[in-house]
């Protein structure tokens, strides 16, 4: 009898799918090392050799339903921009983005355990793609959007380097509202806001900012009685930099995003507000390992 624990251990060691691991263990009569050899012989353990390699390249993909009510966004990473441009890799990411728009998964672990097609889970399909294209790949993150009264829109910049999804609430959602959502997507891509509005800003962080600004003002020799006014002024400037609705619209610097949405609201005859947004930038926060290209080629030739 093959235990679930043994299957799990083999899967973690090889990156092969659950069913493939179970079959290999059955064939090997429970011998773990023999099962690893069986999977390697079948080419199903190819991902294991690559699992430790840094995957900081890749692509961000989005999906929006025809009625603009649901959307998904996903970041799929690989090792090189060469593989990131591969049609099969791109198609895989596109399918994942559509899955993200429909899933009930709460995290990546749950998403990759879902069915990718009739025969494979996402993890199993990804393992097969790793074996075929020869690079480590990871599903790094995803988000799902869904709204009844409003629209969602997406924008991809730089061929998948940056992906954005914006959700607007409006009882009279029409093409004008969809256009506004698209404009805000480009705003988020360009200006990279950290928060939707002032209420979302961490107050602990704000107090730290105030302390820094207060110290700066005192170091500049400013009188204490005007320091607080200077601090408040700088905090307002900080909000305009990091909060989407407070930012200056990239298409008209004299107009804030809040003001732009007010104008759209009047035009459509119903309040329009941003409820959510997300911005994924490929590889952000991943520490890239510098590789010697000649050494990498040599390793590939030697099959390492």
Are both 131 and 100 inside the same structural domain? yes
Please state the separation of Cα 83 from the chain's center in Å. 18
What CATH number does residue 206 fall under? 1.10.286
- Residue 220: how many other CB atoms lie within 10 Å: 9
**How many angstroms separate the CA atoms of 62 and 74, rounded?**
7
Q: What does the DSSP assignment read for 74-86?
A: EEEEES-HHHHT-
Residue 77 is assigned to a structural domain of this protein:
yes
Give the mean model confidence (pLDDT) for residues 170-174.
94
**Domain co-membership, 44 together with 74:** no
Q: What is the mean pLDDT of residues 280-290?
A: 78
This prediction has a pTM of 0.76
Q: How large is the average pLDDT for residues 289-301?
A: 52
Q: What is the mean pLDDT of residues 241-256?
A: 95
Which has more pLDDT, 14 or 218? 218
β-pair type (248-249, 138-146): unpaired
| Residue 188 within a domain | no
Give me the pLDDT at residue 298, please: 55
User: In whole angstroms, what is the distance from residue 154 CA to residue 167 CA?
Assistant: 9
For helices 4-14 and 32-41, the axis angle rounded to 10 degrees is 50
Are 93 and 129 contained in the same domain? yes
Question: Is position 90 within any domain?
Answer: yes
CATH number of the domain encompassing residue 67: 3.30.479.20
Nearest to 103 by CA among 75, 71, 61: 71
Cβ atoms < 10 Å from Cβ of 272? 25
Q: Among residues 169, 158, 183, which one has the least CA distance to residue 282? A: 158
**Which of 31, 49, 67 marks a domain boundary?**
49
Tell me the torsion sign for CA atoms 289, 294, 300, 304: negative
Q: Which domain, by its residues, includes 20?
A: 4-49
Looking at the domain assignment, is residue 13 inside a domain?
yes
User: What is residue 293's predicted lDDT score, i.e. its pLDDT?
Assistant: 47
Q: What is the CATH number of the domain that holds 22?
A: 1.10.8.10
**Are 99 and 140 part of one and the same domain?**
yes
Write down the number of H helices and E strands in the chain: 13, 8
Closest by CA to 93, choosing from 65, 63, 64, 136, is 63
pLDDT in tens, 184-217: 999 999 999 999 999 998 888 888 888 888 888 8
What is the Cα–Cα distance from 270 to 264, expressed in whole angstroms? 9
Which domain-ending residue is among 123, 146, 169? 146
Q: In sequence order, what are the residues at sequence separation of 6 or more whose Cβ sits closer than 8 angstroms to the Cβ of residue 250?
A: 186, 187, 190, 191
Per-residue confidence (pLDDT) for residue 174, from 0 to 100: 94
The pLDDT, as a whole number, for residue 55 is 72
Give the mean model confidence (pLDDT) for residues 96-101: 98
State whether 45 and 66 are in the same domain: no
CA distance 132 to 207: 52
pLDDT computed for residue 228 by the predictor: 87
Please tell me whether residues 12 and 75 are part of one structural domain: no
Q: State pLDDT tens for residues 16-71.
A: 777 888 889 999 999 988 888 888 766 665 555 555 566 789 999 999 999 999 99
Check pLDDT > 70 for residue 226. yes
Beta sheet of 138-146, edge-to-edge order: 57-64, 70-78, 138-146
Contact between residue 127 and residue 149 where contact means Cβ atoms under 8 Å apart: no
Q: How many domains does the chain have?
A: 3
Adjacent-strand bridge partners of 139: 76
The predicted structure's pLDDT at residue 185: 98
Average pLDDT over residues 80-91: 95
Name which residue leads in pLDDT, 99 or 41.
Answer: 99
Residues 84 and 129 in one domain: yes
Beta bridge partners of 70: 146
Binned at pLDDT 50, 70 and 90, residue 243 comes out as very high
User: 139-155 burial, b if ≥16 CB within 10 A, otherwise e?
Assistant: bbbbbbbebeebbbbbb
Least confident of 73-77, 87-91, 215-219, 253-257: 215-219
Q: What is the pLDDT of residue 108?
A: 96
Name the average pLDDT for the chain. 89
Q: Say if 45 falls within a structural domain.
A: yes
Question: Judging by beta carbons within 10 Å of its beta carbon (0-12, 13-18, 19+), is residue 193 exposed, middle or buried?
Answer: buried
What was the pLDDT predicted at 289?
54
Same domain, 133 and 207: no
Per-residue confidence at 225, pLDDT binned at 50, 70, 90? Answer: confident
User: Which range is least confidently modeled, 45-54, 82-91, 215-224, 290-299?
Assistant: 290-299
The closest alpha carbon to 88, from 130, 143, 33, belongs to 130
Q: Is residue 174 a part of any domain in this protein?
A: no
Question: Is residue 38 assigned to a domain?
Answer: yes
Last residue of a domain, one of 238, 258, 287: 238
pLDDT tens digit sequence for 112-130: 999 999 989 999 999 999 9
Residue among 132, 112, 40 at smallest CA distance from 16: 40
Q: 250 in a domain, yes or no?
A: no
């Amino acid at each position: 009898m093959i235990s679930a624990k043994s299957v799990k251990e083999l899967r973690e060691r090889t990156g092969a799918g659950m069913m493939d691991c179970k079959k290999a263990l059955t064939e090997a009569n429970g011998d773990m090392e023999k099962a690893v050899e069986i999977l390697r012989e079948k080419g199903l353990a190819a991902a294991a050799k690559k699992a430790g390699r840094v995957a900081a390249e890749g692509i961000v993909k989005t999906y929006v339903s025809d009625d603009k009510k649901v959307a998904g966004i996903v970041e799929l990473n690989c090792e090189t921009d060469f593989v990131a441009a591969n049609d099969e890799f791109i198609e895989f990411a596109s399918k994942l983005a559509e899955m993200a728009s429909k899933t009930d998964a709460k995290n990546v672990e749950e998403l990759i355990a879902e069915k990718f097609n009739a025969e494979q889970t996402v993890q199993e399909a990804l393992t097969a793609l790793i074996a075929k294209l020869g690079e480590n790949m990871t599903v790094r993150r995803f988000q799902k959007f869904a709204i009844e009264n409003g629209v969602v829109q997406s924008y991809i910049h730089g061929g998948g380097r940056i992906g954005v999804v914006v959700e607007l609430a409006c009882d009279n959602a029409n093409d004008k509202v969809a256009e506004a959502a698209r404009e805000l997507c480009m705003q988020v891509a360009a200006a990279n806001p950290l928060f939707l509005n002032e209420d979302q800003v961490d107050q602990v962080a704000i107090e730290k900012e105030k302390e820094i600004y207060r110290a700066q003002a005192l170091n500049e020799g400013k009188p204490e009685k005007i320091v607080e006014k200077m601090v408040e002024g700088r905090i307002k400037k900080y909000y305009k930099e990091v909060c989407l609705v407070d930012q200056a619209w990239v298409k008209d610097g004299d107009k804030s995003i809040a003001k732009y949405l007010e104008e759209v609201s009047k035009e459509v005859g119903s309040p329009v507000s941003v409820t959510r947004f997300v911005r994924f930038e490929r590889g952000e926060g991943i520490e890239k390992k510098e590789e010697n290209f000649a050494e990498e080629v040599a390793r590939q030739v030697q099959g390492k």
